[in-house]
Amino acid sequence: MSLNKRILTFLSICLSLALLVTAGCSSPSGPGGGAPNDAAGEIKIGVVATLSGDGADYGVSIKRGLETARDRINGAGGINGRKISLVIEDSHGDKNEAINAVQKLINRDRVLAIIGPTNSGEMFAAGPVADKAGVVIMGTSNTARGIGEIGPYVFRNSLPEDNIIPITVRKSKEKLGFNRVALLYSSNNDWAVSSAKTFEEALREQGVAIVETQTFADGDTNFQAQLTRVAAAKPEALAVSALYKEAALLLIQARQQGINLPVMGGNGFNDPELIKIAGEAAEGALVGSPWYAGKDDPAVRDFVEEYKKRYHTVPNQFAAQSYDALGIMAEALKTEGAAADRARFRDALAAIKDYRGVTGRFSFDENGNPLMDAVVLQIAGGTYREVK
């Protein structure tokens, strides 16, 4: 190699190293701070949702709730004159896709904060990425244990099933008087496993015997073998933790086997797609929720009417929680400096107390989990009705 070539090679290496150092120093993914691009224009909020594949109805409802909230906030003048824009990514319900989406939103789109992902398992995978980068990530549908405890930048406004299932079991037992229950759940879904553990604890605490436990997997369509074992144990009620599609098929096959018992469901039962698929087989099923579309509240009525006008359907729990999530973020954005600084936004969000949303009065606890009330709903006549 000639002297000139050696010099050129040396200079090229030096230039590459300098660019790498510069890129590292200017990365927007450092902890906290990191004013996003377009600080004087729109406030960009990233969204990661399951918009395709199994469970897509959850994500579609979340997206619709967010878009309804965005338009309400922007229509009222935005945040100090600045509008909110949503940058939406489809995770396909996959943990790795959720991680990729979060990294893109943080590093390429330079959003201020992120809403989502849809499933608890996705949040357990992607939440630490946002937390390490110092970017708020807020789940609107994550109900498994330990979400807020991932880190100081991880929040959720969806009630953990630790809070809801004990209420569901108590109300259901009072109404139906059972003492023997069979438990069925998806064993390859982090949320469903967590939900099943909560069912176990709640049932035992309230003196109900679990006479059979059966598992299956997300995507399964045949539950005959599990239901045969359940029938043999002679329970007086079923407790089921599954996504709406698997839960609906399980209910249909249970009725076909002559298992016409009361059913308590986990959060997957809150999607009306379960009723649409299961039809008569879903009648009588019970589920806990912070959301009830029939609540006598002007804010609820306005939201339901606006949502029906836009999408020709009644908003479900997932739409209502995402609608409130953006409202909660908008409230935090009113704090001076919060719209242009990720760390200040995090602190403003953590300080939210007694926010009045369509799902009720809301505050965060010290770990970023919600503090709010829940009601128990029963499917009757093809819709959800509150159990008094």
Quickly name the fold that domain 43-159+295-373 has: Rossmann fold (3.40.50)
Give the three-state DSSP class for 125.
helix
CA pair distance 266, 199, nearest whole angstrom: 9
What is the spatial distance between Cα 240 and Cα 250, in angstroms, rounded to a whole number? 9
Give residue 140's Cα distance to chain centre: 4
18 pLDDT higher than 60: no
Looking at residue 22, its pLDDT comes to 37
Q: Are 69 and 321 in contact (CB under 8 A)?
A: no
Where do we find the tokens 């009630």? 159
pLDDT band, residue 33 (cuts 50/70/90): low
Q: What is the pLDDT of residue 37?
A: 52
pLDDT single digits (tens) 212-227 = 999 999 999 999 999 9
Q: What pLDDT is stored for residue 380 in this prediction?
A: 96
Beta-sheet pairing, 154-156 with 43-49:
unpaired
Res 190: pLDDT: 87
Start and end residues for every CATH 3.40.50.2300 domain found in the chain? 43-159+295-373, 162-289
Cis peptide before 272 (omega within 30 of 0): no
Q: Is 197 left (phi over 0), alpha (psi -120 to 50) or beta?
A: alpha
Strands of the sheet containing 383-386, edge to edge, are 209-216, 180-186, 237-241, 263-265, 286-289, 375-380, 383-386
Instruction: Please report which helix (H) or strand (E) contains residue 276, including its range.
Output: helix 273-278
CATH of domain 162-289: 3.40.50.2300
Q: What is the pLDDT of residues 358-380, one digit of tens each?
A: 999 999 999 999 999 999 999 99
Distance from C-alpha of 267 to C-alpha of 143, rounded to nearest angstrom: 8
Residue 191 confidence (pLDDT): 87
What is the DSSP pairing of strand 360-364 with strand 370-371?
antiparallel
Instruction: Measure the CA–CA gap between 242 and 66, rounded to whole angstroms.
Output: 25
Name the residue type at position 196. Answer: A
What pLDDT does residue 216 have?
A: 98
In tens, the pLDDT along 156-192 reads 999 998 999 999 999 999 999 999 999 999 999 988 9
Q: With a threshold of 0.95, does the pTM exceed it?
A: no
Strand partners, 43: 84
